[in-house]
Structure 1
Amino acid sequence: MDLFSPFLLCLRWSHGGLWNPRRADSSGVPFSFRGNTEALEPGEIICSLEKDRLRMELKNVSGREFQELCDLCLWVKLDSSEHCRELEDMLRQMDWRNEFAALTRTRYVERVMGPLPQLHADTHFRFLPLSPEVHLGDCVSNLSVERQKELWMVFFQDGISPVEFTYMADILAEGTPFPMFSWELSLRLALHEAGIRVEYPNHGGFQVWDGAGKRRLFNYENGTAAERLFLKLLFPAPAGQA
């Protein structure tokens, strides 16, 4: 993935129906890239789709042709603040090191992204592949800390083990390296936000209590994938029942 990944994502969303050039503003410009040219003047690459073909127009103050545009800023004009929030959330989660976008499954996203491929229909996030070589296991293990924390909150608050945890459990079972620190950090953040505490009694073992003062029980051998990852991160050694 390179700096133009947001651009590729815009094209995918355009084909998915988010931006229809017929509904764009009077200039017919769904989106553009703004930045500085090699002559250090403001420049813009205006992009639009015409009959499934990309049309690009260069624009700057002097009117001289330019070959480079740096310090890029993606500019999009949408119909409503709701659409802006959806796109902002999507772009904010993008990482140039990853070949995917993890989208929150809102009704709006599901509607406009319907025609586009996804890596799994039952995951908590909708994973939009930006490369034909991307695999779901790689996507899950490289989620941002914020996204990982959201998965933990679903587990703690709703008692549901999202499909993403199944892939993480498989990665652990295979002994494949993965960013352990970020998953442990997201777990600690989720524990704090959910009001869950882990105690270690003098007689040994450990106990997990939720914010309502109710003890939570977890089992490594027979529990869900989320339980296994939770216990593995707390206790790298083989875990028993809490």
Structure 2
Amino acid sequence: MMEMHSFLKAKQKEIPSPNGEEKPSARGLFEFLYEISEWIQAIPSAYRHENEETSTIYVWFNDIAVAEDDFWQVFGEYLVLLRARWKIDIFGTAGMSQETVWLALQEENSHIYAVQKTLSGHPADTIESLCLRIQCLSSEQSKILYALVGATNWKNGTVALDWKYSSFLLEENLAQPTQNSCFCYGGVFEEMDLEDTLQTLTFQQKIILWTGFLKNGLDYAEFEWLYNAISKNVVSNRVEWELSLHTAMQNLKYTVQVSPNDFEMHDGHGCRRYFSFNSTSYAERAFLKILFPLNT
């Protein structure tokens, strides 16, 4: 974005440098993004150019306004730490003049400064919207970080992903260990709340879970979490679980016959399927709890 304008330095202030030279991890980057999201009460959007070779991603927060001094006070040290691995430039709009504002770190004589540049050279005290330009170490890393930003539940700081991302989560101190789960999980906190994890799952991921059970009888760990949440009456967005189950059944051409005194289900091959609340399978019990919420 800096290529689109000619900027003039408007002001600068020195930022204290944290002690230590510890290499930042992606967990630190996501803690930074999570803290911004919490601070301004907004969910970020992300963009990565379709060019396979690009190593840049953009993360932005719409419909917000921040005082520039407050931003540096809260997040200045984060940016100083992260600069050892990622160059992060921040863009926004000046509240009064509506000109573009560019915030960046600059090092001079072993001191680090927070520099504000504007088109006019006049400083802006308030900045509307924030767009972070994050330059990654490689195009592959930018692909992974883009996927993580897009999949993260920013309300609780957790993410559910395909297992192909598991090694990255582990290497970057983001992994949350699970056993027999359909997806791998990561988060900015040390421990994972299973109720938060269920909220992290997208509609499409829930369809994948139900499909694995109905088609192959897979009893993923997520079904144990779901069954326990239903049993405690704490499951969130239950209707989405029901709709995702309905969608999976439609995709597999399941048919259901329901009457006040009878219930029959047949799979896509016409075979009748039988299920029991006494099953040892959490998937089966969760399935029945969704179909028959009043049964115990």
Give me the TM-score of the superposition, normalised by structure 1.
Answer: 0.69
SS of the aligned residue for 2:155 comes to coil
The whole-number CA distance in structure 2 between the counterparts of 1:128 and 1:56 is 31
The whole-number CA distance in structure 1 between the counterparts of 2:230 and 2:120 is 57
Structure with more contact order per residue of length (Cα contacts < 8 Å, sep ≥ 6): 2
Going from structure 1 to structure 2, the CA distance change for 1:88 and 1:216 (only over 3 Å counts) comes to farther
Q: Which residue of 1 aligns with 2:295?
A: 238
Q: Which has the larger radius of gyration?
A: 2
The whole-number CA distance in structure 2 between the counterparts of 1:33 and 1:86 is 21
Contact 1:141–1:168 under 8 Å retained in 2: no
SS of the aligned residue for 1:198 comes to strand
Q: Which residue of 1 aligns with 2:176?
A: 119
The whole-number CA distance in structure 2 between the counterparts of 1:206 and 1:220 is 15
Give the count of matched residue pairs.
Answer: 216
For the pair 1:149 / 2:203, whether they are aligned, the reply is no
For the pair 1:4 / 2:37, whether they are aligned, the reply is yes
Contact 1:99–1:134 under 8 Å retained in 2: no
**Deviating more after overlay: 65-74 vs 187-196:** 65-74
The whole-number CA distance in structure 1 between the counterparts of 2:274 and 2:113 is 58
Q: Which residue of 2 aligns with 1:110?
A: 166
For the pair 1:170 / 2:228, whether they are aligned, the reply is yes
The whole-number CA distance in structure 1 between the counterparts of 2:195 and 2:101 is 39
> How many angstroms does 1:163 deviate by?
0.8
The whole-number CA distance in structure 2 between the counterparts of 1:166 and 1:47 is 47
Q: Which residue of 2 aligns with 1:37?
A: 94
What is the one-letter code of the residue matched to 1:217? Answer: Y
The whole-number CA distance in structure 2 between the counterparts of 1:45 and 1:190 is 47
Going from structure 1 to structure 2, the CA distance change for 1:91 and 1:20 (only over 3 Å counts) comes to same
The whole-number CA distance in structure 2 between the counterparts of 1:199 and 1:97 is 39
SS of the aligned residue for 1:222 comes to coil
What is the one-letter code of the residue matched to 1:138? Answer: D
The whole-number CA distance in structure 2 between the counterparts of 1:56 and 1:157 is 56
Pairing partner for 1:159 from 217, 220, 227: 217
Counting only pairs closer than 5 Å after superposition, residues 1-242 of structure 1 correspond to structure 2 as 3-4=36-37, 21=85, 30-39=87-96, 40-46=98-104, 58-78=116-136, 79-80=138-139, 83-106=141-164, 109-115=165-171, 116-122=173-179, 123-132=181-190, 134-200=192-258, 204-210=262-268, 212-238=269-295
SS of the aligned residue for 1:72 comes to strand
SS of the aligned residue for 2:278 comes to coil
What is the one-letter code of the residue matched to 2:37? Answer: F
SS of the aligned residue for 1:110 comes to helix
Going from structure 1 to structure 2, the CA distance change for 1:92 and 1:157 (only over 3 Å counts) comes to farther
After superposition, the C-alpha distances for 1:210-233 in whole angstroms (9 at most, x for unaligned) are 3x4344332221141111111111
Contact 2:211–2:248 under 8 Å retained in 1: yes
SS of the aligned residue for 1:95 comes to coil
Contact 2:158–2:200 under 8 Å retained in 1: no
- Unmatched 5+ stretches in structure 1: 22-28, 49-53
What is the one-letter code of the residue matched to 1:111? Answer: S
- Unmatched 5+ stretches in structure 2: 1-33, 39-43, 45-58, 60-74, 107-111
